[in-house]
Chains A and B, each alone.
Chain A
């Protein structure tokens, strides 16, 4: 039986709201179930995969980087690509090119590719379902 495909459009920049966490949880759950997932990262969400993100200590708690174990979104997305590989399903991640350029956010982890809203439109037509998670 052919695997189903879910398309998710995310717009929230990293470290802004629970939308990013929930998006990742939904994508993770879909991959775990053997569902192919397309992710269209639009506007601020293109920064989720920026390679230069660094975990930090917490001066308020007095904890070091190691103790804080601060998760970065680039690590979470890299984990999703690993999971897709492990499960034998496809995770296709497009960062909106114009959104990347205007933010200077082009240094990504391995996995995402550049695209535009036309790719999202094509995915919507080809997928079994589409979920758009906007910013507030």
Chain B
């Protein structure tokens, strides 16, 4: 089983590429890979529980850990109460921990 740390920096309404990235994460998880999806910058907008179109719906049904950068959430005024309960708020240091947790993790930025 491989480890993937996938970092999404774009919001889901910006381009169709974002949904492809989510789908890649879900497909990797379905294939038995260990996947963490980390939302940064405008990517954090998808963390809202009432986000139109439920952009993270497919991802959250998969065995994927979804984290959102607390700094990005604060910048965008997304309160804890507005965050999807399955998306955890995390520090940028947590991202570094995930990247460095063990050798051979594949890190993808979009």
A residues engaging B (CB < 8 A)?
Answer: 4, 6, 18-19, 22, 25-26, 28-30, 32-33, 35, 128-134, 136
Contact of A22 among B9, B10, B91 (CB under 8 A): B9
CB-nearest residue of chain B relative to A128?
A: B103
- 7 A-B pairs besides A18-B9, A128-B103, A131-B107 with CB distance below 8 A are A18-B40, A25-B92, A26-B92, A26-B95, A32-B93, A35-B100, A129-B105
Is B96 in contact with A6, judged by CB distance below 8 angstroms? yes
Question: Which of chain B's residues 37-57 have a Cβ closer than 8 Å to chain A?
Answer: 40-42
Is B13 at the interface (CB under 8 A from chain A)? no
B99 within 8 A of A: yes
Nearest chain B CB to A45's CB is how many angstroms away? 14
In whole Å, how far is B46's beta carbon from the nearest beta carbon of chain A?
16
B109: interface (CB < 8 Å): yes
- Within the complex, the shortest CB–CB distance from A66 to chain B, in Å, comes to 25
Q: Are B109 and A132 in contact (CB under 8 A)?
A: yes
Report the bound CA distance from A133 to B110 in whole Å.
8
User: How distant is the Cα of A136 from the Cα of B7 in the complex, in angstroms?
Assistant: 14
16 contacts between A and B (CB under 8 A): A6-B96, A25-B71, A26-B92, A29-B92, A29-B93, A30-B100, A33-B93, A128-B100, A129-B100, A129-B105, A129-B107, A131-B7, A131-B99, A131-B107, A132-B109, A133-B109
Question: How many contacts A-B (CB < 8 Å)?
Answer: 51
Asked whether A26 and B96 contact (CB < 8 A) given A18-B9, A133-B109, the answer is yes
The minimal Cβ–Cβ distance linking B23 to chain A, given in whole angstroms, is 20
Specify the chain A residue showing the minimal Cβ separation from B98: A129
Residues in B with CB closer than 8 Å to A35 are: 96, 100
- CA A78 – CA B65 in complex, angstroms? 35
Cα distance A19–B40 in the bound complex, in angstroms: 10
Contact with A along B66-110 (1 / 0, CB 8 A): 000001000000000000000000011101110110010101010
A4 to B103, CA, bound (A): 10
Q: For residue B101, which residue of chain A has the nearest CB?
A: A129
Chain B residues, Cβ within 8 Å of A33: 93, 96-97, 100
Identify which of B41, B105, B109 gathers the most chain A CB atoms within 10 Å of its CB. Answer: B109
**Contact A130–B9 (Cβ < 8 Å):** no
Residues in B with CB closer than 8 Å to A19 are: 9, 41
Contacts of B103 in A (CB 8 A): 128-129
